Chain A
Amino acid sequence: MRLVPVPRNQVSPLDDDLRVEWTPTRWRRRPPLHHVGTDPDARFTMANERTFLAWNRTALALLAAGLAVAHLLPPFGFPGARTVIAVALIILGAVSALLSYPAWEAKERALREGRPLPPSRFPRLVATSVGLIGLVAAAATLVRQGG
């Protein structure tokens, strides 16, 4: 069960059985997903699940790419370049997998409660990171060819 911070002025007496003391911030247990709202349209639920799976496949692709860079490419012009690129890809993959579940749950909760879907900065983060890693890889390749 996940814990979310709640401002003190939003904690009602009815929440006492769910509340966990955590000074200086109070924390509240989130109710299970199936206790929230009503069942949404099955198509939306499944689309959300497919998005979750797509993020996990992206994560697996990043992991495989990282391993390929580390162990299949010849060394670059300066020591550790392969490892730096590989580690960045692998960390990005692991973070993608880790964050895919909270993103799915937030969207599912919003669907069940009839709220607008929460915005996510994660696609921008992944796109920016992959772009930066690509630039570093291009620079390392140029250095290798120049040397």
Chain B
Amino acid sequence: MTERIDPGAPAERTRLAWQRSGFAVLVGIGAVIRFAVDEYHGGRAVALAVAVGALSVVAAVPALVDRTGPSPAVRPALLRLFACSTSLAGLAALLLTLFAPDAWE
């Protein structure tokens, strides 16, 4: 007797996980933008806003795609892009924190 594998529920959970990640991007990195707007009067916030928008789109794509086929495609490039974008956001946050006017008060 063979076990029937239904990828429906795991696929749905995975799509929801992508949605949560996109939301975390908006909330978490939105803080970077808010800080940049306050500290630098919006000058560098534009680049960060573009980065956050791109990262949210990256997270939204897998949330929209139906992946209930027998062999859901693996997308290493997409995962790499997501991880690298988060790291770059971290680098931006690090630089903004280190070079803030009141960093060493």
Contacts and interface: CB of A to CB of B under 8 A. Distances in A.
Do A and B actually bind?
A: yes
Interface of A: 32-34, 39, 41-43, 45-47, 49-50, 52-54, 56-57, 59-61, 63-64, 66-68, 70-71, 75, 79-80, 83, 86-87, 90-91, 93-94, 97-98, 100-101, 104-105, 108
Contact of A49 (B35, B79, B104): B79
**DSSP class of B's interface residues: helix, strand, loop or mixed?**
helix
Contacts, number: 134
Interface in B1-43: 5, 7, 10-11, 13-14, 17-18, 20-21, 24-25, 27-29, 31-32, 35, 38
Interface of B: 5, 7, 10-11, 13-14, 17-18, 20-21, 24-25, 27-29, 31-32, 35, 38, 67, 70-72, 74, 76, 79-80, 82-84, 86-87, 89-91, 93-94, 97-98, 100, 103-105
Contacts of A41: 5
Given A43-B5, A67-B97, 13 more contacts: A42-B7, A42-B70, A42-B72, A46-B10, A53-B21, A57-B20, A60-B21, A63-B32, A67-B31, A70-B103, A83-B97, A86-B97, A94-B87
